[in-house]
Amino acid sequence: MHEYFSRDIRGRHAYVLYGLGGSGKTQIALKFLDTTNRQPTPRFTKQFFINASSRQTLDTAFKNIAISHEIGKNSEDALHWLIFQIEPWMLLFDNADDPSIDLFPFLRKCTHGNIIITSRNPELAFHGQSHSRVGDMDETDAIDLSRLGPNLIAPTPIVIVPAPREQAWEDWENAG
């Protein structure tokens, strides 16, 4: 991924990580962002962690971007704003597993910006100019990632866009 995102840094990049649940897709993406943030000049100026598990969480995430940057009140305002942010921003779409959700409305055509998509669905690989299948992590890789722990907080913050309360409650109920 480092090599891919280092090419033509002014251009648009989209990378898809796909594989079984629990295989480490999100951790790989976060480790990549952590590594790039620790460079003397961070690679990405703005970073947004988007819960892509449902259409509702996608809409809410972009609505929250619009509100937090005071550029509007809905997801369309945020998407329009990103088109005009001619800088190396990053959108990390996490858990884009549902094949019935169309991501195209959230992947606006522009000549800049960076996107990472994590998914269990290998068919989403067509969204990226490059992609990787993530297999199960071996014990050594899992230990290395677990050691990052609090070190994942980086100089360029990743804005975690919250899910709606209903989604958070549902996630909590399903976790037990």
Question: Per-residue pLDDT tens for 106-157?
Answer: 987 788 889 999 999 999 888 888 888 888 655 565 555 445 444 443 334 4
Three state DSSP letters for the chain: CHHHHHCCCCCCEEEEEEECCCCCHHHHHHHHHHHHHCCCCCCCCCEEEEECCCHHHHHHHHHHHHHHCCCCCCHHHHHHHHHCCCCCCEEEEECCCCCCCCCHHHCCCCCCCEEEEEECCHHHHHHCCEEEEECCCCHHHHHHHHHHHHHHCCCCCEEECCCCHHHHHHHHHHHC
**Residue pair 24/142 in contact by the 8 Å Cβ criterion:** yes
pTM value is 0.77
125 token code pair: 């690989």
Question: Considering its fold, how many domains does the chain have in total?
Answer: 1
Which domain CATH number covers 65? 3.40.50
How confident is the model at residue 33, as a pLDDT? Answer: 92
How confident is the model at residue 5, as a pLDDT? Answer: 83
**Residue pair 29/49 in contact by the 8 Å Cβ criterion:** no
| Percent of the chain surpassing pLDDT 90 | 44
What is the residue range of 160's domain? 2-175
pLDDT tens digit at each of 176 positions of the chain: 888 888 877 778 899 999 988 888 999 999 999 988 888 888 888 999 999 999 999 999 999 999 999 999 999 999 999 999 988 999 999 999 999 999 989 987 788 889 999 999 999 888 888 888 888 655 565 555 445 444 443 334 445 554 444 544 454 455 44
